[in-house]
Structure 1
Amino acid sequence: MKTKLKIAVLVDVSRAYDRDILLGATNFNKLHNKFLFFFYSPKYLGKENQEMLVERIKAWNPDGILTREIEGVQSLLCLNIPLIIFPHTKLYRDHINVWGDNKEIGEMAARHFVAKGYKNFAFLGFKDFQWSLERQAGYTDVVTEVGGNVNTFNYDHSQLLWEHLSARLKKWLETLVKPCAIFTATDELNIHLLEAAKELGAKIPDDFSILGVDNDLMICEMTSPTLSSIDQNAQNAGFLAAESLCKWIESGERPSGDIIFTNGTIITRNSTNALAIDDDQVRIALHYIANAAPSEDISVEDVVKATTVSRRILEKRFQQVIKSSILEEIKKVRIERIKFLLEHSDLSVQQVAYELDFRNFENITRYFKQFTGLTPLEYRNKCKLT
């Protein structure tokens, strides 16, 4: 039997991002059966002594390491073996980092809110974490482009205890002009944000529309209201890291640079299901699109009929209010639904076409490729590989 590569995987499985990294790495191993893993021992066996853990890893003599920014990581970075790091705070110079396209994530959040007609924007993040600051920058850039401003609260964990954050956020929320679109750097902050909003007597999403990052189901699905979030595809990151580490060990070919992963998806739930649009006809049209387009092959004329104005007037108002056309909004909703079904169901492309009321396989293939550059099958295969 061929000797397997010994890989130490040091991630915090209490977090959705880390669990997805682990899933991605194990998915790679399911395909190639290359690795023998070293994991943290279960918490019920006692808290890991970090210094002792590092020594145990060294004694295990791994061929490679996939690690978060754990205590004692500098000692691991000094080992003369392939190592890929998933940082918490900042990029590690002269090492291979796995890093999300955080600026794009922020831009995605801003575009989502702008399309819903918001004029007031806020950002909740961390003071000292580079990934949070990059998400803030992307969000702010897009908001600035449309003539808006972002009211920012950056949590300084060195000055304020985690359990005291809700009280501070309540004071911050009191300063925001409603309705306000709030983008938070990670779902975990939304636990405190929701508590602060409830203490204030604010309505979610009518007063504050909230969108986080990581799509942590333990947070997003169990809160009231449920929380919308950006799934940044960390499983892809784990898969790519494992693939790169394997190649590095076997061929001695170090990755040429950091592993940057993209293709985030907004998972919408109740915390963002409001529209901050004063124009009632545009609001009616967007509600019609959101409800009908995922399952019906609606036309621009169908949308116009749902309102009391002419097509010319409605098109003009769409451009004025959300900087988009009626047809573009229909396409956005339908493409997102197709992506969701390709990623999260076992439906064939023909069945997906049926679900969205396309007449045939060729129509949905042409439609999808025009928007994404990939056929539905190519997109699904890409998702499976990652």
Structure 2
Amino acid sequence: MSFIEEARPPEDWHGDGILCALLDNPSIEQLVLKAKQPVVDISMSRIDIHLPRVVADNRQIGREAAQHLLQHNHEHFAWFCFRTDPVGKSRLAGFEEAIGHSVHNLTSRRSNLRQAVVNKLRKLSRPCAIFAKTDVDAAWILNVCIEEGFRIPDDFAIIGVDNNPLICDFLPAPLSSVNHDLEQLGYQAACLLQRLISGEDAPTEAIMIKPNGVTPRASTDSFAVSDDIVRNALIYMKERLHQAVGVSEIADAIGVSRRTLELHMSEVLDQSVHQKLMDLRLNQAERLLRYTSDTAEHIAAFTGFCHAQHLSKVFKKRFGEPPLRYRKRHRQTSI
């Protein structure tokens, strides 16, 4: 078994199988097409070539990004990538599917890419949430926004994909990112290749590896509402999900009457304070169920429910099934 690098096909190689990311490299393409050994591709770049594949569930990556931004009350959205390819198209499709409509496309083929993107940014309604194909794309546009005097995340909230700490943690505004589960992808690709070497039939469809949630950072750490009372209330609630806070306590903390808070919340979000607080708690509980192994009791305590039975009752009403059944159905499973 050997891993073939994109630009260096091995000479006189004799192995048991090939694990590759088939990109636009003619020499690698010819090697793969002529190979008598089993091949597993971990890329979507050459879907015109029929091969067994283990790839990211890119539509779900787009949905995860959208859900994160929607939970921060964004209403205006945009997309950016340097290169349009099948991966980007799938991620954008999933993003728009979750949003419910098409979004502004900041991608440009002009020679002066930066100026073309800046011109588009200036025309967007703000606050606006930007989903970028990768952390590299997101880092570029985040720096452009800052250089042009836009505020992150108040004018533009930005989210990437890959959760690369060398990028995300060292930007002027640390970058939120969808956790593309590369470790699981590589593991399942190796397992599939081993099965093919052992003589098993290749799967007829690509094996999709789901993302592992979103790692939130400063680039999206803001609620997209212009009303200061509602904004302050949302921030207060988000920071205290694990506490049993009530409407009166929230109102006192931000310096307004309970009635004033309820009126503003109803006018801006069409929800009561209690309804919004419950949304925040349930969204956090749902993320913990999908992406951690925490017990129902721990999740209930961490999200402000008095006990696991209370969480189960409210969760089932919202999501249609009890928490542990939901976890079993949505958690990434071994293939």
**What is the TM-score of this pair, normalised by structure 2?**
0.78
Q: Which has the higher strand share?
A: 1
2:41 corresponding residue in structure 1: 85
User: What's the CA shift string for 1:283-331, capped at 9, x where partnerless?
Assistant: 33321231011x3355678667767445976785576379x94222211
**1:67 CA drift (Å):** 0.7
Q: Show the counterpart of 1:73.
A: 28
Residue identity opposite 1:330 in structure 2: R
Contact 2:178 / 2:211 at 8 angstroms: preserved in 1?
no
Which residue among 149, 161, 166 is the counterpart of 1:201?
Answer: 149
Task: After superposition, give the CA deviation of every residue in 1:182-224 in whole Å (9 maximum; x if it has no partner).
Answer: 1111110123212211221111111111111111111101111
Unaligned regions of 5+ residues in structure 2, if any? none
Map 1:263-302 to 2 at 5 A: 263-293=211-241, 295-297=242-244
Q: RMSD over aligned Cα, in angstroms?
A: 3.8
The match for 1:320 among 241, 254, 270 is 270
Deviations 1:65-120 (A, max 9, x none): 21112422322133122111122534244212223222232233223323322232
State yes or no: 1:332 paired with 2:283.
yes
Q: Is the 8 A contact 1:121 1:150 kept in 2?
A: yes
- CA offsets per residue over residues 232-274 of structure 1, 9 Å max, x none? 2222222221222211211332123211122441111000111
Q: Secondary structure at the match of 1:96?
A: coil
- CA distance, structure 2, for counterparts of residue 289 and residue 179 of structure 1: 21
Q: Give the 3-state SS of the residue equivalent to 2:243 in structure 1.
A: coil
Measure the CA separation in 2 of the matches of 1:241 and 1:122.
33
Which residue pairs with 2:107 in the alignment?
154
**CA distance 1:334–1:296, change in 2 (3 Å):** farther
Mean CA deviation greater in 179-188 or 100-109: 100-109
- Are residues 334 and 291 of structure 1, via their aligned partners in 2, closer, same or farther at CA, if it must alter by over 3 Å? farther
- Contact 2:61–2:94 (CA<8 Å) still a contact in 1? yes
What amino acid maps onto 1:292 in structure 2?
R
- With over 3 angstroms needed to count, the CA separation of the structure-2 counterparts of 1:92 and 1:81, relative to structure 1, is farther
User: Structure 2 counterpart of 1:336, which letter?
Assistant: R
Distance 1:375 1:304, change over 3 A: farther
Which residue of structure 2 lines up, in the alignment, with residue 236 of structure 1? 184
Contact 1:120 1:178 in 2 (8 A): yes
What's the CA shift for 1:133? 1.5
Identity %: 24
Of 364-373 and 276-285, deviating more is 364-373
Q: For 1:349 and 1:180, how far apart are their aligned partners in 2?
A: 35
Q: Which letter does structure 2 place at the counterpart of 1:227?
A: L
> Is the 1:368–1:374 contact (alpha carbons within 8 Å) kept by the matching residues of 2?
yes
CA contact (8 A) 2:316 2:323 kept: yes
CA offsets 1:153-201 (integer angstroms, 9 cap, x no match): 2254xx64xxx64444333322222221111111101232122112211
Counterpart for residue 54 of structure 1: 9
- CA separation of 1:300 and 1:260: change in aligned 2, threshold 3 A: farther
Contact 2:56 2:211 in 1 (8 A): no
Partners of 1:362 and 1:60 in 2: CA distance: 60
Look up the match of 1:8. 2
What is the alpha-carbon distance in structure 1 between the residues aligned to residue 244 and residue 192 of structure 2?
42
Name the SS of the counterpart of 2:9 in structure 1: helix
1:36-85 deviation per Cα after TM superposition (whole angstroms, max 9, x unaligned): xxxx5xxxxxxx9x3xx3243xx332211211124223221331221111
Q: How many residue pairs end up in the alignment?
A: 324
CA contact (8 A) 1:227 1:271 kept: yes
Give the Cα–Cα distance (whole angstroms) in 2 for the partners of residues 216 and 105 of structure 1. Answer: 15
